[in-house]
Amino acid sequence: MENKKIINSEEIKHYIQQEKIQYIKVGITDVDGVLRGKYMHSEKFMKALEEGFGFCDVIFGWDLHDELYIFRESKDCSPFTGWHTGFPDTKIRIIFNSMREIPFEERTPLFLSELESPALCPRGVLKKVLERLKEKGFLARAALEYEFFLFNETSRTIEEKEFKNLENYTPGMFGYSILRNSVKSDFFQDILSMCSSMDMSLEGLHTETGPGVIEAAISVDEALLAADKATIFKTFMKVLAQKNNLIATFMAKWSKDFPGQSGHIHCSLVDQNGNPSFNDSEERGQELLNYFLGGLQRYMREFCVLLAPTVNSYKRLSPGAWAPINMTWGTENRTVGFRFIKGNPYSQRIENRIAGADANPYLAIAATIGAGLLGIENKIELTPETKGNAYSKKVSKDYRVPTSLKEATMLFKRSAHARSLFGDNFVDHFSSTREWEYDQYTKYGTPFRKDPKEISKWELSRYFEII
C-alpha cells in the first residue's frame, strides 16, 4: 500500500474497497498534543466519512494521565464536559487528506480527525488563525524541528528505576556525529524510512549535544499540514523507538545536567500566488518582516503558555542552555528568542526558538503565526537587532520569557489579544487546564524545593513518555 493524496470521500471509499482494508486507525489531538484514537471497522469508517462519528468528549475533560479536571473557579469539572454532562459523544470529522500508511501495521491506514465544533479543538484553533491570516492576503508555511533523547529502556524499566541511572542510547556529548549515526545507521535509516513512508519526510537528521539525543527537522509545508506532520512524528517516533526496545522522550528538560529539548518553529508567509512575503530585498517585504517580528516580540509573552505548556517547560528556558530567556531577535543568532534566517527570498524565514518539544504543534504554530499576524495588523515596530550574546542583554519585563507555568497561564488568561485570536472559550478552557496542571505540581510540593533546577520524580512520571 502506498500513501496517496486523497481529497474526497469517494476516492477514500474506492481505495479501502480496492485494497480490501478491514480496519482504519483514527486519531485526534487533545489539548496537550497527545494523539488519542482507536481502530474503526471499514464499514463504520466509510459512513463516518460523510456523517462524522461520535467520540467520547472526555479527552478534552481530563489531563495527561486521564484524571478529570477540576477547575479552580467552578470547583467542578470543565463546563465543556464532566459528570454534569454525562460525558456524551462529541461529533468528530475525518480529515480526508491526512491518510498515512503505518509501516508497522500492514493494511492499516491512519487518518487524523478534528472536532466538528472548533472552539476547543487545537487543530480548529490553528485553522481559525490561518483564516484570519488569509483574509489579510497571506498564507503561512511552517516546519518544526525536534530534539529528543533515546534510552536503552522500556516504559516499565524507567518506572522500576524511578528514572535514575537510565542507560543512554549513546554515550557522551557528541553533536553532529558521523561516528554515532554510522554505527547506529540501521536505526537512523528506520527513522528516515518511516518519515518518508508516512508523508513527513525529514530535511535533516543528526545527533545533538547530549548522550543519546537526536534532532529531526521535518520538511516545510503549509502551516496546518506542518502541524499534522509534527503531531504524527512525535507519536510514531515513540512507537518506532519502543519497537526497537528503546524509549524516546520529548520532555522539555528531563535532566538538569543536559540541555533541554526544543521544538523550534520555522515559519514564513507567502501571498495567494505563492510568492514570498518576507523578501527583505524589497521595501514591502522588509516592512512585513519587521512587523511580523515586532508582533512576535510584543505578543509572545502573552501566548508563551502555548509554546511552554508544562511546569517542566520553564526549566528548559534558562541562560546558556541553548534556549532563549527573552523576546530578542537577531540574524543567524541562536541566543535570541526569534532568529531571522537569511537566504534567497523563498528560504528566508523566522525561527521561533522559545517553543519546546513538549508543546502541542497546532497551538505552538497558532501562537507563532497569530503573534506575527497581530504585528502586521497593528504595525508593531520591532526593537533593535540583538547582536552577540542575548543572555547578557538587559531587557524590560515586557520582553522577558515567563519564568513559570503559573505566570505564563495568568498572562494568557488575561490577554485580550489571545481572546481575539483564539476565542474566549478556548482561552478560558486552556487556561483552566494549565491551572490544574500547576495545582497538581504544587500538591507534590515541588515548587518549595531548594534547587529550582531539580527535575522532580513527579515531572518525570508525568511527562517522560507521554508528552
CATH of the domain at 184: 3.30.590.10
Is 147 part of a structural domain of the chain? yes
Place of cell 522500556: 154
Instruction: Tell whether 137 and 53 lie within a shared domain.
Output: no
The whole-number pLDDT of residue 450 equals 62
Q: Are residues 155 and 50 in the same domain?
A: no
| Domain co-membership, 88 together with 188 | no
In whole angstroms, give the CA distance from residue 1 to residue 76: 48
Buried b (16+ CB within 10 A) or exposed e, 50-76: eebbebebbbbbbbbeeebbebeeeee
Q: Are residues 86 and 147 both part of a single domain?
A: no
338, 425: one domain? yes
Residue 455 is part of which domain span? 127-463
Helix axes 361-378, 283-303, angle to 10 degrees: 120
Per-residue pLDDT of 311-329, as tens digits, reads: 999 999 988 788 999 999 9
**Per-residue model confidence (pLDDT) at position 453:** 78
Residue where a domain stops, chosen among 65, 84, 117: 117
pLDDT at 447 (0 to 100):
61
Contact 72, 439 (CB under 8 A): yes
Q: Is residue 450 in a domain?
A: yes
Distances, alpha carbon 280 to alpha carbons 277, 284, 434, in Å = 9, 8, 39
- Indicate whether 107 and 165 sit together in one domain: no
102 and 169: one domain? no
Q: pLDDT value at position 6?
A: 59
Statement to judge: residues 242 and 318 lie in one domain: yes
| Residue 312 and residue 434 in one domain | yes
Per the structure, the count of domains in the chain is 2
| 83 plus 227 within the same structural domain | no
Instruction: Name which of 148, 152, 151, 243 is nearest 194 in CA terms.
Output: 243
Q: Is 446 within the bounds of a domain?
A: yes
Last residue of a domain, one of 53, 84, 117: 117
Same domain membership, residue 351 and residue 310? yes
Number of residues that make up the chain: 467
Q: Which of 459, 441, 465 lies closest to 158 in space, CA to CA?
A: 465
Structural domain contains residue 122: no
CATH of residue 34: 3.10.20.70
Cell of 233: 512524528
* Residues of the chain below pLDDT 50: 1-3
4 assigned to some structural domain: no
User: Where is the domain boundary, 117, 135, 156?
Assistant: 117
What is residue 449's predicted lDDT score, i.e. its pLDDT?
Answer: 63
166/24 same-domain check: no
Residue 299 lies in a domain: yes
